[in-house]
Amino acid sequence: MVKVRILVVSDSHIPDRADEIPRGIMDFIEEGRPYDIVVHAGDLTSRDVLDYFSRLGSKIYIVQGNMDWLDLPESEVFNVHGVKIGVVHGDLVYPRGDLKGLTRVAEDLKVKMLIWGHTHRPLLAKVGDIVHLNPGSITGAYSGAGASYGPSFAIATVKASDKLLLEVKLYALDKGRVVEKYRLIEEF
């Protein structure tokens, strides 16, 4: 069996809304490295964050958020064992987090999974044939809508053998410890 592990984060907002990634999350992420792929769905807001996540994996896909000044693409599409995955920040749909609009984005990109951020609220859902993953804010920074949902992130694993499986685990920081909040397993 071949496995590809993907670290998925978004909305770090360092240093404008948060000073750093919480220690419990940093320890968890560091313990799991190296990752095959690292995805950041925008609003890094500093070169240091870009540099940090670039060191965690073999490949990196980072998109520009509405608060970023870095020269980054608006979207990315990559393929893992035949599973096409798209990445956008999510600020191009209104209202924030609108799954109908984000599903149209996924269809336009011709992807089976869409990773997005912007709301700072973690979400793992399936709409039709599209898996939606919003890892939330890795720092727990408040969103532009004023809400804070606490620090969160995700790890996706694509497993290829006689079947092709996508397993996504959404994690959150709870009392200083990283805990698994949601899990989705999809067969392709």
Residues forming a β-bridge with 158: 4, 166
Task: Determine the average pLDDT of the residues in 164-168.
Answer: 93
Q: Which residues fall within 8 angstroms of residue 136, CB to CB, at 6 or more apart?
A: 10, 11, 117, 119, 120, 121, 122, 123, 149, 150, 151, 152, 153, 170, 172
| Residue 44 lies in domain | 2-187
Average pLDDT over the chain reads 94
Q: Is the pLDDT of residue 148 over 80?
A: no
Question: What CATH number is attached to the domain comprising 176?
Answer: 3.60.21.10
Give the pLDDT band (50/70/90) at residue 120. Answer: very high
Cα angle 86, 102, 185; round to 5: 60
**Whole-prediction pTM:** 0.96
Nearest to 133 by CA among 105, 109, 169, 100: 169
Give the pLDDT band (50/70/90) at residue 43. Answer: very high
Query: Residue 143 has what pLDDT?
Result: 83
- Please tell me which residue, 163 or 88, carries the higher pLDDT value: 88
Contact at 8 Å (CB) between 120 and 141?
Answer: yes
Q: Which residues fall within 8 angstroms of residue 68, CB to CB, at 6 or more apart?
A: 42, 43, 44, 45
| CA dist., res. 155 & res. 3, Å (int) | 12
Domain count, the chain: 1
Task: Mean pLDDT check: name the lowest of 56-65, 98-107, 161-170.
Answer: 161-170
**E-only strand ranges, the chain:** 2-9, 35-40, 57-62, 75-80, 83-88, 113-115, 123-127, 130-134, 152-160, 164-174, 177-187
Three-state DSSP state, 12:
coil
Nearest to 168 by CA among 136, 130, 131: 131
Q: Tell me: the pLDDT tens digits for 127-147?
A: 999 999 999 999 999 887 767
Determine the number of helices (DSSP H) and then strands (DSSP E) in the chain.
3, 11
